[in-house]
Amino acid sequence: MAYCPNCKKELPEGSDFCPDCGRTAEAPENKEAVGMGRLTFFRQSCLTAKAVKTKIIVDGKTVAELREKQKISVSLPYGTHSVTMKAPLAPSYKTSVVLDANHRDVRCEFAINKRSGRPEPVVIPNGKAKKGTTYLQPKAPSKKWEWIQGIVLSLLFFALMAYASWQSNGRGMNVWTILLLLDTAAVAVLLVLKHRKTKLSRSTATKRSENGMTQLPNDEMKQEPAKEQPAESAELSSKSIYQTILENLQEGELPQGFHIQCGDEKSSGVKFAPGAMDGILLYHTTPYAADEETQQQILQALKLISDEDNASNIPQIMDIFEKLTSKSSIVKLYDTIVRVMLSNLQTLDLERLLRFGDFLISYGTKFMPVKMGLTLLSIFNDKIPFVKEVHLTLGAYEEFTWFAARYLSSGACEDGNQALFDLARHVHGWGRIHAAHYLEPETREISDWLLYEGAKNTVLPQYSADLCLMKAGAEERLNEGVSEAEFTAISFLLESALEKDGPCPGLGFSDAGLLPAYLRAAKQFPLNRDLIQSVRDWSKAWQLDPQIAEAAEQLLQTSE
């Protein structure tokens, strides 16, 4: 009987998936083999022509056929896996690779040496000699085949001797018979020498593998070493974005100035503050309406994820996601993806969607896969604890706060708004802007925070000022009577909201009920002439009640 490694509950019969917490059960015979790892094969060069494919076999199953400079990633459970690579006109090579929680992502770069006919090292970066480098070994030829070769050569030699004797009729061999015998002897010697050389090469490779050596023999050192593929270095890093954030979190907050550099940023050549790119798209561009073709592409990717053999579909899935996000960002596609998932629940495998989202988050080293993983997990409620946990962890980094705010405010969590409030207090830039947008003032504590701190971010207060005024109940507070601290906070928010050169057209606050209430309360406190003038000008520009402009003008004249 299998049990969940997290909640320790008994699993349904015939399943290793826990419906309560969403994790995969431990294998009873291997208590440490929990979760998934990723094995990436990259073919640099081969003995055969570039167009010839090299077959990759993992645990007896063919997972890919690679040409030169091609790559394939395969997700595998933790544990030891046997790998075989077969290339036409070359020996087959075998190795075993260990995937564990400390070394989850393994990259195998392989090339076949054109001189020796044996493989170059399979490189596992950032690893020590014991597990960091594995050498593929040639598949040992069958001794039975060696015996057959020897018997054939012996029979051929005796046949030629008999033929020579028959031709000579006892008078000696002619010139053609002698040449034929010499030719046969030369072939036999070449075969023996080749066999000895191959045997010596295997012996040398075996000793190097056992000693964990990384240097090449002298005849190979002259060759230019294989260059790393810089475009993939960030994607194949041994530490994911999620793990990096998790290791740097201190009491729910990341250190000041914490910044993650990944392939997304390097490819664009522009450095944005965390969350800035998505914030600009959300506040400064028009809403995105996905067409039918985009929705079909999304559905195609979701069906590939739901496929039983979805590990082999990973390159195709990620290719679809990359093409979609090249047209529009994930924050713009978020609602469409969620809508497509919810409208096709009967044809999609929810368990595989959940696991694949977890896979992208756990191993993603670029922003796009992690954001896509969060989007896939957004339809699952907090009865699956890790779904909420990854949103809170990643949300602490402001590049992902918007996704966490969307999930926590969606009703999927019983205490999602309180969790969002805790998150909002630990982010200070674009993350606070996004959190304030979705935070609801369910308690007096949250309402006060929105009033005093909600718009105080490191970007511009104008992005949140009007919402904070509304959510904090500024009008009701003013009508009921406010303290000097409350009035000062309301004045700051109102001044930001009425900023003429605000960051977004139409972002300014225009509630007619708030302005008269503020002007009445302003008589009891030191007058802010600039703000009163803004109220007067704003009411005229928006053609509000003329009494608002008159009241503002009277205050200005009284203070002269």
Count of CB atoms within 10 A of residue 95's CB? 18
Q: What is the residue whose two structure tokens read 């593998």?
A: 209
* Tokens of residue 388, six digits: 């909420």
Is residue 138's pLDDT more than 50?
no
In whole angstroms, what is the distance from residue 133 CA to residue 124 CA?
5
| Residue 100: strand, helix, or coil | strand
For the stretch 510-557, pLDDT in tens is 556 889 999 999 999 998 999 999 889 888 887 888 898 999 999 988
Alpha carbon separation from 175 to 178, 182, 545 (Å, rounded): 5, 11, 123
In whole angstroms, what is the distance from residue 117 CA to residue 141 CA?
14
468 Cβ contact list (under 8 Å, min separation 6): 436, 450, 451, 454, 455, 493
pLDDT confidence of residue 224: 34
For the stretch 29-79, pLDDT in tens is 333 334 567 777 777 765 445 666 788 888 888 888 887 777 777 777 777
In whole angstroms, what is the distance from residue 228 CA to residue 85 CA?
21
Burial of residue 420 (number of CB atoms within 10 Å: 0-12, 13-18, 19+): buried
Is residue 267's pLDDT more than 60?
no
Interval 478-499 mean pLDDT: 92
For the stretch 309-344, pLDDT in tens is 777 888 889 899 988 888 788 999 999 999 999 999
* Tokens of residue 175, six digits: 């010139």
Is residue 127's pLDDT more than 90?
no
In whole angstroms, what is the distance from residue 47 CA to residue 53 CA?
11
Lowest mean pLDDT: which of 83-92, 271-280, 526-535? 83-92
Top pLDDT among 493 and 287 is at 493
Q: Taking the CA atoms of 457, 460, 465 and 466 in sequence, report the sign of the dihedral they define.
A: negative
Return mean pLDDT, the chain. Answer: 75
Interval 456-461 mean pLDDT: 92
pLDDT confidence of residue 232: 30
Q: Tell me if the pTM is above 0.75.
A: no
For the stretch 413-454, pLDDT in tens is 888 999 999 999 999 999 999 999 999 999 999 999 999 999
Interval 179-194 mean pLDDT: 66
354 Cβ contact list (under 8 Å, min separation 6): 22, 376, 377, 380, 384, 387
pLDDT confidence of residue 518: 93
Alpha carbon separation from 34 to 20, 29, 155, 374, 464 (Å, rounded): 17, 11, 58, 22, 44
At residue 240 the predicted structure's pLDDT band, cuts being 50, 70 and 90, is confident
b/e code 98-136 from CB counts within 10 Å (16+ = b): ebeeebbbbbbbbbbbeebebbbbbbbeeeeeeeebbbb
pLDDT confidence of residue 190: 62
